[in-house]
Structure 1
Amino acid sequence: MSAQVWLVFCTACAILFALPSPIAFKVANYAAVRGKRTMIASVSGATLGVMTTFTAAAIVVAGASYVPSSFLDVIQWAGIGWLMLFGLWTIATPAARESQAENDNLRARTLGAIFIDCFVLAALRLRYFAFFIAFLSQFINRSRDVVETLTQMQAATLVLSLLCLTLQATFARSTIAMVRRASVTKKVRNNRGTRFITGRAVSAGYRRIAA
């Protein structure tokens, strides 16, 4: 791939992993509550979970490269539409569902349990799975070896996810504060929208009754 394509791919992945998310919240919580010694378990578990999701998406995309060109174009355009929805969804959805205390929802205590907890959370992120399918499908080019391209992207994703998660665990307090700040801001925004829609519905109902 060209340098420009690599830059686009790496930048998009770096932004994805740097965004406030439940994965970042979990890894940072373990580092803040259980101590920095848990970083290896939490970061490696989350990274392996992300790579599991990426690999599953890459298999789907590799299979899609063998479909007819006209159908592949439909897949790529649908992928662009999903990426746009993903951006809106990320902006509108709170990163942390609720303002949890730092010791809440941290059932794991041993390093093995922490590894599994972070792995399961990252591997079951269906939003990441759909993102990778939509995003990787944009790079399908029949003139190049699709498997080789996806393997190179997998290596880049491994490095970026490991780097971002390590930084989020290292600066755990800042990560937790950022996730909570994003969550509160989005909740306020969503509540205002809900009140606006509810007010419009009530007004419409009164007008209908009066008529």
Structure 2
Amino acid sequence: MSFETWLAFAAASTVLLVIPGPTILLVVSYALGQGWRTALPMAIGVALGDFTAMTFSLLGLGALLAASATLFTLLKWAGAAYLVWLGIKLWRAGGAMDAKPRADAASSLKMLSHAWLVTALNPKGITFFVAFLPQFIDPKADLFPQVGIFAATFLVLAFANAFTYALIASRARNAVRNPRTMGIVNKIGGSLLIGAGIATVGLRAGQS
């Protein structure tokens, strides 16, 4: 694999990751609510979620999802329902915002698991890896070293992207300490998460 190929993969991955999706909406919502301490567990959760989706893809689940409308639909509804549930919770939070972000293991584990589930349960992510990775694979070279490098690159970028979004949102948190303002932010964030869940249901099997 040439350096140019790796650089093209890294650049394409960065562009795709920077575009906000359900995962980033969740990261931003947590960061606004609990501050910068959410950055690390959320970023780890996102990376683990992408690793899960990538692993399923490499094991052939992505191809199965693209071929099986029933399986794709089941996974799609599971992911959509989880997003809607999170959105409703955020909407009902009103103007609540923790003045002192919790840094205990339980809350960190909860944030990590939420980020992992939202990322891993997105069927679009699984089919995306199936369609995306092969474009950069050299069939004349050993497969596993290439896949390993590409996977590690993508996971590092996914971690950095989520971490950066969380830090930026946590800085903006100081500007939304007013309960009324935070209530509006929670409602907007909740609506976006619910909308993302509904949009997920609209995905057709085989789309990347």
Contact 1:32–1:102 (Cα < 8 Å) also in 2: no
Alignment: residue pair count: 146
Cα deviation, 1:37-82, whole Å, max 9, x if unaligned, reads 1222211111110111112223339x9xxxxxxxxxxxxxx9xxxx
Cα deviation, 1:70-119, whole Å, max 9, x if unaligned, reads xxxxxxxx9xxxxxxxxxxxxxxxxx99xx7994378xx82211111111
1:57 partner letter:
S
Contact 1:55–1:154 (Cα < 8 Å) also in 2: no
C-alpha change, 1:105 and 1:16, in structure 2 (3 Å) is farther
1:123 partner letter:
A
The TM-score with structure 2 as length reference comes to 0.60
Equivalent residue in structure 2 for 1:135, among 126, 129, 132:
132
Secondary structure of the 1:43 match is helix
| Structure 1: 5+ residue stretches without partners | 64-77, 79-95, 184-211
Over the residues paired in the alignment, what is the CA RMSD in angstroms?
3.5
- Residue 8 of structure 1 and its aligned partner are, at CA, apart by 1.4
Structure 2 Cα separation of the partners of residues 35 and 167 of structure 1? 13
C-alpha change, 1:28 and 1:105, in structure 2 (3 Å) is farther
1:46 partner letter:
V
Residue in 2 that maps onto 1:104 = 91
Residue in 2 that maps onto 1:201 = none
C-alpha change, 1:102 and 1:39, in structure 2 (3 Å) is farther
Contact 2:42–2:163 (Cα < 8 Å) also in 1: no
Contact 2:43–2:160 (Cα < 8 Å) also in 1: no
Residue in 2 that maps onto 1:126 = 123
Contact 1:38–1:111 (Cα < 8 Å) also in 2: yes
Residue in 2 that maps onto 1:157 = 154
Match status 1:4 vs 2:1: no
Structure 1 Cα separation of the partners of residues 168 and 141 of structure 2? 40
Contact 1:58–1:136 (Cα < 8 Å) also in 2: no
1:139 partner letter:
F
Residue in 1 that maps onto 2:55 = 55
Residue in 2 that maps onto 1:145 = 142
C-alpha change, 1:105 and 1:172, in structure 2 (3 Å) is farther
Query: Over alpha carbons, which structure has the higher Rg?
Result: 1
The TM-score with structure 1 as length reference comes to 0.59
Contact 2:31–2:39 (Cα < 8 Å) also in 1: yes
Structure 1 stretches of 4+ moved >2 Å: 58-61, 100-106, 139-142
- Report the identity percentage: 27
Structure 1 Cα separation of the partners of residues 46 and 92 of structure 2? 16
